[in-house]
A and B are shown apart, each in its own frame.
Chain A
Amino acid sequence: MTYRVLAAMTAAVLSLSACSDQGGEASAPVDENAVRVGVLQSLTGTMAISEITVKNAEILAIDEINAAGGVLGKNVEAVVEDGASEPSLFAQKASKLIEDSGVVTVFGGWTSASRKAMLPVFERTGNLLWYPVQFEGNECSPNIMYSGAQPNQQILPALDWAEAKGYKSYFLIGSDYVFPRTANLILKKHIEDRGLATAGEAYVPLGGTDFSGVLAKVQSAGPDIIFNTLNGDSNVAFFKQRKAAGMDAPVMSFSIGEQEAQAMGVELVEGSYATWNYFQSLASDANKAFVSAYQSKFGQDAAITDPMVHGYLNVYAWKAAVEAANSFDPSAVRAAAVSLGTIDTPMGPVSFAPNQSLVQTAYVGRLDGDGQFDIIADSGGDIAPEPYDPLAFPGRTCTPG
């Protein structure tokens, strides 16, 4: 009996391998005049809602580039893969893109877990990943371009703003994963260093919706302001239960953008604060052109967020670097990318620093009744990226590859 099962299994594996061989051949670039790039985001699972918008922005940029004649005379062909919100699948799909589909670079990733899982794949194959989301720093791989904010480009500008407003006592609430814990570690060091007080710190499992205990702790600590690194649906529960408990300490959030605010019901979060490097309400012409291009393709009501713009600018930065290097070779592209000078983007002119992170400005916004942010403060110019916070992690630096 077992023997026949094995025979069936043989057939199954053979047919699968056969179909992958066909896939492999079909997927080799047929068009001599095309170059393949990977787009790897979660199209399913819990992260899909956020990552699909980034995928859209990346595809938009690729389409625009092709319409304008491609890169080095070649058409850019996007190979889209689904990371399914699972880190190990991100690693699996990254090696599929590089080794099977033969892409010259990959745009994608959102969670730190997905980036960490992909990192060894990129280092092993020598390929280059363009990562679009703010993160906790403490990493500089030669094979990753980090355009999202480092901690000193998002959370510390928020602390500067709060300190200037006279807030003395801070309560830190986050989802239980790496970004909130590391961000709060850095925040606590800076809060202490400035003679301010950390009133408390609490974490809720990802997707958790019961805040009764956390709110009781906040109430008993009585902070001036809450710094919120909660993710996703937990935010709705938190803001709802906070309102019901009649709590009036203001909230500064690091993971609520336009899309999240509009999806969760604006009246719940109206008046709360957020810090990002981009808001849809930025008044520049470049931003207006981008917003209208995106909305005419993906819906007039589509919200535009910081990670989407970083995804979009990553594609253009890659194009500029390829043209400067006159090559698609990842190491040549990397070398060119950090010496490009400024490139124009919807968030204004930005450039990559030698540590492969983006030099950018931080803005503090206050959420209005339409789900848009009124920009009430900015960092007063570009901030150079610091992957390792000097106060929290003294002596650590990036040694760019």
Chain B
Amino acid sequence: MDSALFLNQVFNGFSVASLYLLAALGLSLSFGLMRVINMAHGEMLMLGGYLAFLTLSIIPGFVGLLLAIVVAFIGAALVGSVIQSALIRRLTSRPLDTLLATWGVSLILQQAARDIFGPIGVEVQAPAWLNASIQIRDGALAGLTIPSARLFILLVMALVLGGLALLLTKTRIGLMVRASNQDRMMAAATGIDVKRVDLAVFCLGSGIAGLAGVVLALLGPVTPSVGQSYIVPAFLVVVMGGLGSILGTTLSALILGLIAALSQIFVDVSIAQVLLLVFVIFFIQVRPQGVIAPTSRALDF
């Protein structure tokens, strides 16, 4: 096997994993807390992408990109708050119905995007340096090509993870989130407003998805269905990650990203997708509780 190809695919694996992770983090956070999956989560990515498109068409360049990240985060978080308070909150303890109702939201958002922006994708004008690449010509890593856009995405992912870790471990709100996550009823009994924690976490998760939409826009077009192409792998990441564990989600995104990329050395993209699912089904045979399992004595979780 070609060693340059292998090297490039290892790098691509990390890059794909970072996209999976950004798409899955929000899902995993709110699943851990509320046991619900938002099927319109992919549309938060789409929303972030379109917001990035709008922002960058007004203010181009790096400043525009930074601004786009902020705008996309806030925009997606706002829409997320509407979905949470108007729909998901009303369906507590009916997780499967939540899934279906949010699928309806997803259909409407996609069609709305089609009507507003047209069915064909729009292209985000990224700063020129993001369209360049670093090519390593000699040494142990000879042949490795690192597109700067993908490096930027890895950086964003690292910042998001770091920020999230700080938020959860060092702040008061983080404490409340962790408490509600561990035992919802006890947390409520100690005076934590669990419903507000739900809303905050859902907004945060949607915001991260909006941010993921911005970085996706650096790689390809923003289309009404852009979220759909990442949402199924993101679901698999959540299934494999373990309940609400950030570390578990990160590890499972990494594992799935590397499998997706490395299997492409031997097979087509289509088959690589199938292998991903087969792997997850085998994985839950071995560890049904996920990569990182929460320690709990509860019978149903």
Residues in chain A within 8 A of chain B (CB atoms): 46, 48-49, 176, 202-205, 207-210, 212-214, 216-217, 219-220, 232-233, 236-237, 240-241, 243-246, 263-265, 268
How far apart sit A10 and B9, CA to CA, in the bound complex (Å)?
59
Least distance between B191 CB and chain A CB atoms (Å): 46
Interface set, chain B 251-301, CB cutoff 8 A to A: 261, 264-265, 268-270, 272-273
List residues of chain B with CB within 8 A of the CB of A265.
123
- Residues on the A chain within 8 Å of B16, using CB: 210, 212
Known: A204-B269, A233-B120, A241-B219. 6 other contacts (CB 8 A): A212-B8, A217-B264, A219-B4, A232-B120, A244-B150, A264-B123
Whether B269 lies near A236 (C-beta < 8 A) is: no
Partner among A207, A245, A264 whose Cβ is within 8 Å of the Cβ of B229: A207
The proximity string for B residues 203-220 relative to A, scoring 1 for CB distances below 8 Å and 0 otherwise, is 000000000000010011
Report yes or no: B226 in contact with A216, Cβ–Cβ below 8 A: no
Q: Choose from A204, A241, A246 the contact partner of B132 (Cβ within 8 Å).
A: A246
Given A210-B219, A213-B261, A243-B131, residue A236 in contact with residue B273 (CB < 8 A) = no
Please state if B145 and A264 are interface contacts (CB–CB under 8 Å): no
The interface residues of chain B lying within 8 Å CB-to-CB of A232 are: 120
Q: Could you tell me if A236 and B123 are in contact, using CB atoms closer than 8 angstroms?
A: yes
Inter-chain residue pair count (beta carbon < 8 A): 112
Task: State whether the Cβ of B147 lies closer than 8 Å to any Cβ in chain A.
Answer: yes
User: What's the Cα separation between A241 and B216 when bound, in Å?
Assistant: 11
Q: How far is the CB of B256 from chain A (nearest CB, A)?
A: 13
**Contact (A237, B220) CB under 8 Å given A232-B120, A245-B147:** yes
- Chain B residues with CB under 8 Å of A219's CB are 4-5, 8, 145
Q: B5's contact among A176, A209, A217, by CB below 8 Å, is which?
A: A217
Checking B12, B225, B229 against A216 with a beta-carbon cut-off of 8 angstroms, the contacting residue is: B12
Tell whether, in the assembled complex, residue A241 and residue B264 are in contact, meaning their CB atoms are under 8 Å apart.
Answer: no
Count B interface residues, CB 8 Å: 40
Query: Is the contact region of chain A dominated by helix, strand, or loop, or is it mixed?
Result: helix
Most B CB within 10 A of own CB, among A49, A207, A245, A264: A245
Does B130 sit within 8 A of A, measured CB to CB? yes
Q: Is the CB of B121 within 8 A of A213?
A: no
Q: Which B residues, 9 to 52, have Cβ-Cβ distances below 8 Å to chain A?
A: 9, 12, 15-16
B121 touches A236 (CB 8 A): yes
Contacts of A212 in B (CB 8 A): 8, 12, 15-16, 150, 261
A334→B269 CA distance, assembly (Å): 43
- Chain A residues with CB under 8 Å of B143's CB are 220
Establish whether residues A205 and B219, one from each chain, have CB atoms under 8 Å apart when the complex forms: no
Residues in B with CB closer than 8 Å to A237 are 219-221
Question: Once the chains bind, are B5 and A46 in contact (CB under 8 Å)?
Answer: no
In-complex Cβ contact of B219 among A209, A213, A214 (8 A):
A209
Task: List 29 interface pairs A-B (beta carbons < 8 Å), by A numbering.
Answer: A49-B119, A203-B268, A204-B269, A205-B270, A207-B223, A208-B229, A209-B216, A209-B220, A209-B226, A210-B220, A212-B16, A213-B12, A214-B264, A216-B264, A220-B2, A220-B5, A220-B8, A233-B220, A233-B221, A241-B219, A243-B131, A244-B131, A245-B147, A246-B132, A246-B145, A263-B120, A263-B121, A264-B121, A268-B123
Quick one: closest B residue to A204, CB to CB? B269
Looking at the complex, which one of B4, B12, B123 makes contact with A220 (CB distance below 8 Å)? B4
B149 interface residue (CB < 8 Å to A): yes
With contacts A176-B270, A245-B147 taken as known, whether A213 is within 8 angstroms of B9 at the C-beta atoms is yes
Given contacts A216-B9, A240-B220, contact A203 B270 (CB under 8 A): yes
A236-B220 CB under 8 A given contacts A49-B118, A49-B119, A204-B269: yes
Contacts of A207 in B (CB 8 A): 223, 225, 229
Contacts of B119 in A (CB 8 A): 46, 48-49
B171 at the interface (CB under 8 A from A): no
Q: Considering only CB atoms, which chain B residue lies closest to A201 in the complex?
A: B268
Q: How far is the CB of A152 from chain B (nearest CB, A)?
A: 27
Q: Could you tell me the distance between the alpha carbons of A342 and B269 in the complex, rounded to whole angstroms?
A: 45
Tell me, rounded to whole Å, the shortest Cβ–Cβ distance linking A244 to chain B. 4
Query: A244, B147: Cβ atoms under 8 Å?
Result: yes
A181 to B295, alpha carbons, bound, how many Å? 50
Query: Is B135 interfacial (CB 8 A cutoff)?
Result: yes
Contacts of B225 in A (CB 8 A): 46, 207
Q: Does B92 contact A (CB under 8 A)?
A: no
CA distance A245 to B143 in the complex (A): 12
Report the bound CA distance from A48 to B115 in whole Å: 12
Which residues in chain B, 131-155, are within 8 Å of chain A measured between CB atoms?
131-133, 135, 143, 145, 147-150
Chain A contacts for B229, CB-based, 8 A: 207-210
Decide: A245 and B145 in contact? CB cutoff 8 A.
yes
Residues of A contacting B265 in the complex (Cβ-Cβ under 8 angstroms): 213
**Which residues on the B side are within 8 Å of A205 (C-beta)?**
269-270, 273
Residue of A nearest to B145 (CB): A245
Q: How far is the CA of A236 from the CA of B268 in the complex (A)?
A: 20
Bound Cα distance A48, B224 (Å): 13
Binary A-proximity of B103-130 (CB < 8 A = 1, otherwise 0): 0000000000000001111010000001
How far does the Cβ of B75 sit from chain A's closest Cβ, in whole Å? Answer: 21
Q: Name the contact of A213 in the complex, choosing from B118, B147, B226, B269 (C-beta under 8 A).
A: B269
**Assembly CA distance A278 to B148 (angstroms):** 38
Contact residues in A for B135 (Cβ distance below 8 Å): 246
Closest to A50 in B: B120
Q: Which of A208, A209, A212, A236 has the most CB of B within 10 A?
A: A212
Pair A240/B123 contact, Cβ less than 8 Å? yes
Cross-chain contact A244 with B132 (CB below 8 angstroms) = yes
- Please name all residues of chain A whose beta carbon is closer than 8 Å to the beta carbon of B133 when the two chains form the complex: 244-246
Check B120 against A244 for contact (C-beta < 8 Å): no
B residues less than 8 Å from A244 (CB atoms): 130-133, 147-150, 219
Min CB gap B281→A, angstroms = 20
User: Which B residue's beta carbon lies closest to that of A45?
Assistant: B119
Q: How far is the CB of B221 from chain A (nearest CB, A)?
A: 4
CA distance A282 to B191 in the complex (A): 75
Cα distance A241–B221 in the bound complex, in angstroms: 11
How far is B134's CA from A246's CA once the two chains are assembled, in angstroms?
9
- Please state if B269 and A210 are interface contacts (CB–CB under 8 Å): yes
A297–B123 CA distance with the chains assembled, in angstroms: 28
With both chains docked as a complex, state the minimum distance between the C-beta of B55 and any C-beta of chain A, in angstroms. 17
The 5 lowest CB-CB distance pairs between A and B, nearest first, are: A237-B220, A213-B264, A209-B220, A236-B221, A212-B12
